[in-house]
Structure 1
């Protein structure tokens, strides 16, 4: 079967020169579904993060107790447990707010936000792989399966040609 038989079909391995070609100036380009899906997936990841922070409040005393046992402390005062959880929740909230802002910027077609979200997704996918490989951490529905799946889908949606063209539509 020749490549001329299917003119819209792309080859599996494209040369780097073709992949790095500019997308073309088109400020009136409509928002593609890949951008909408990518932004919605980032928002879904933010909601999953909020749920995880809320759920971790129930097991926080146990986690603090385990860390104290490793360090060598016996009993951890309640105020230390509460203050460490408060610090954790505030830092997590800031991170999730930044991620929600990035979702909005991706939806609006800001290229650096799209790239930053893809880099973060690639890093979290890689971290999950390393934890599986080195620490034998199982990927289960109750642990990393949902966040890993969301990150893979984000990477697929935002790395598409249409998402790149939309994010770079104003470049000459």
Structure 2
């Protein structure tokens, strides 16, 4: 009565196995990690749109609470609108870039995968720095959702299968 039991994977991988080159397989099916990573980036874009909308609805209070006064004169309504437009322009450009990177990740681009990983690391580092240096709280309403999505993106897109899929057309 011999059952086939799958061999357990060790808790660590030897450096020799990690350094072994990946196989060249142009017909490799898209792994779940790549799909999950691309969809998480798209969720991050959706979270950014929701964040921009919440800023828009609270803009008057944000500017009023900041008490921005230049040369003793408070900001006019036009200047407030201009500031909101600038926030939307920069935020929209970042979100558009993120959405394009998500599409390229889903198509299997290695450069886009590495770019998304790099920006996720930057985002996590900035959140940590704000918490450490400024004592900024990490809340569900502000930082926690984006931070969680960035961590999940790192986990998904840094897997060996996602890397192998992104580099499947490279000759080694």
Does TM, scored on the shorter chain, surpass 0.5? yes
Matches within 5 A, 1:19-168: 19-65=18-64, 66=66, 68-69=68-69, 73-168=72-167
Structure 1 CA distance, aligned partners of 2:8 and 2:24? 22
Structure 1: give runs of 5+ residues left out of the alignment.
1-5
Q: Is 1:42–1:154's contact at 8 Å kept on the other side of the alignment?
A: yes
Counterpart for residue 12 of structure 2: 12
Q: Is 1:35–1:158's contact at 8 Å kept on the other side of the alignment?
A: yes
Counterpart for residue 3 of structure 2: none
Do the aligned partners of residues 14 and 139 (structure 1) sit closer, same or farther apart at CA in structure 2, a change above 3 Å counting?
Answer: farther
3-state secondary structure, aligned to 1:24: coil
Structure 1 CA distance, aligned partners of 2:90 and 2:96? 10
Do the aligned partners of residues 129 and 72 (structure 1) sit closer, same or farther apart at CA in structure 2, a change above 3 Å counting?
Answer: farther
Q: Number of residue pairs matched?
A: 166
CA deviations 1:81-106 (Å, max 9, x no partner) are 11111121022111111100000000
The normalised TM-score by structure 1 is 0.88
Give how far 1:13 is off: 5.4
Do the aligned partners of residues 72 and 132 (structure 1) sit closer, same or farther apart at CA in structure 2, a change above 3 Å counting?
Answer: farther
The normalised TM-score by structure 2 is 0.88
RMSD: 1.9
Give how far 1:72 is off: 5.4
Structure 2: give runs of 5+ residues left out of the alignment.
1-5
